[in-house]
Amino acid sequence: MSKTVHIAVYDTFADWEPSYVTAGINRPLMQREPGTWQIRTVGATAEPVTSMGGLRVVPDLTLDQLSPADSAMLVLPGADIWEDERLAPFAGAAAEFLSAGVPVAAICGATYGLAKQGLLDARPHTGNAPENLASTGYSGAGHYVDEPAVTDGDLITASGIAPIDFARHIFARLDLFEPAVLDAWYRLYADRDPSAFFALQAGAVEPA
C-alpha cells in the first residue's frame, strides 16, 4: 500500500528546506520498503504557487481535500508570509494532524505559525531563534531547545538553516531507512564523509 507524505506549498515557500526530504522519499533506493512511498503537494487552492527560488508548483490537492487519515505526515516549509494570517489554515491543518496522531514536521517560518497556533506551548521544540518565536506571544519559551532539529512525539521542528537535520528527523520518524543506512546518509550529507557514499551504495535496494 502506498504511503503518502504531504508537503504544503504556498507563495514564497522556501524550496530548499524540504528538498532533502522529497529526494529521500521519492528515490526508493536504500529504503526499507522501496516503491511504497510518495510525495503529494498541498495548496490552499489548486492555483499554481511560486517558491522563494522562483519555482512554479501546481498543487496535487487542496487543503480542504487533505485528511490525516490519508497521510503519513504533513511537512510545512518556511515562507515569507508565515508572520501574517495567510497561512493560518495550514497551522490549523497541523493541529488537526496532531490531534489525529499523524506526524507534522515544520521548519523555519512554519515554526512561527505553529507557535501562533499554540502548538508549541507545552512541548519541546526549536525554530529560527527563541526571540523569533517569542514575538508570537506564545507561552512555550521554556520548552525551546537550542538544536538544529527536535522531535517530540508526532511533532518535528527545525531551524531554517538545518534542512539536512530536518530530513534526518523526518526519515527517522517515518522509519524510512534502516538505522545504519540513515547514519550513512547523514554522514555523507551533513559531515561530507566520503566513506558514507560507499556505505549507502552497499545498502541500495532496487524497488520491486
Q: Kindly list the catalytic residues.
A: 108
Q: Provide DSSP, 151-192.
A: EETTEEEE-TT-HHHHHHHHHHHHT-B-HHHHHHHHHHHTT-
Residues making up the chain, counted from first to last: 208
How big is the CA angle at 117 (ends 112 and 121), to the nearest 5 degrees?
Answer: 85
112-148 as b/e: b if 16+ CB within 10 A: bbbbbbebbeeebbbbbeeebbeebebebeebbeebb
